[in-house]
Amino acid sequence: MSELDTLPRMDRRVALQWMLGAAAAIATRDGRLLAADDTTAPITAKGYGLDPSMVKVYNPGDVWPLTFTQVQRRTTRALCDIIVPSDDISPSGSAVGVPDFIDEWISAPYPEQAKDRPLLLDGLRWIEEEAQRRHQTAFADLSTAQQTVICETFADPAKAKSIDAKAAAFFKRLRDLAFGAWCTTPEGMKAVGYVGNVPTATFAGPPHEALKHVGLA
């Protein structure tokens, strides 16, 4: 790093030690600053505890800090919109906050999410490396067609092996999380045909056309 060269009064070895010490101190104070580049760094934030308010509306980042780097955020955003593109019926993943959810997920202080963190962060790096290898361009700056071709490679277990043994598992996990996050928003629910969560005076039962559809009327 060039910063080392701007410390002329220190011996390089001393400077290096000083840098490492300072970095460790910052990491201790605020794990999220450095954690994102090191996929093995543990999340030290606290969870919402055993007695959180259940009625409050929460947004990613409200309970624990988000940890994506700028690059990871950009890549994720682009991936979310390839996984869930917008169409006439419904908006894309990024339009309803899915990238923030992915960030919340990989930054969460719970075991299941901690297990996903290295896979997802490694996977984002593989995506970037693949974009660079093919086009010498960041994934987010590629055309939709180019992004789709890369995703098709990751989505096919047979092809994904050439990238990394876990590349297909990464893409499947990201897809499950991104699509799950999308279809649990009001817009996503509507798009997959969920029309409930509405109070009504009576329960009408299935309409005639639905019964007819399955041979019950």
Binding residues for other proteins restricted to 14-43, rule: CB under 8 A: none
Residues 118-177 that bind other proteins (CB under 8 A): 148, 151-152, 154-157, 168, 171-172, 175-177
Q: Based on the shown chain and the rule CB under 8 A, indicate whether residue 82 belongs to the binding site for other proteins.
A: yes
Q: Which two tokens stand for residue 63?
A: 């309970």
Distance, CA of 81 to chain centre: 12
Of the two residues 21 and 206, which places its CB atom closer to other proteins in the complex?
206
Q: Which two tokens stand for residue 172?
A: 């499947």
Query: C-beta of 34: minimal distance to other proteins in Å?
Result: 23
Indicate which single residue of 36, 43, 83, 142 sits in contact with other proteins (rule: CB under 8 A): 83
Of the two residues 18 and 179, which places its CB atom closer to other proteins in the complex?
179
The pairs formed by 161-167 with CB atoms below 8 angstroms and a separation of 24 or more are 163/126, 163/130, 164/122, 164/126, 166/119, 166/122, 166/123, 167/123, 167/126
Q: Which two tokens stand for residue 5?
A: 């060269």
Of the two residues 35 and 168, which places its CB atom closer to other proteins in the complex?
168
Of the two residues 19 and 45, which places its CB atom closer to other proteins in the complex?
45
CA angle at 99 for the pair 94 and 102, rounded to the nearest 5°: 150
Indicate which single residue of 57, 70, 136, 162 sits in contact with other proteins (rule: CB under 8 A): 57
Indicate which single residue of 66, 67, 73, 104 sits in contact with other proteins (rule: CB under 8 A): 104
Residue 160, CA distances (Å) to 47, 131, 170 in order: 35, 14, 10
Indicate which single residue of 108, 121, 140, 163 sits in contact with other proteins (rule: CB under 8 A): 108
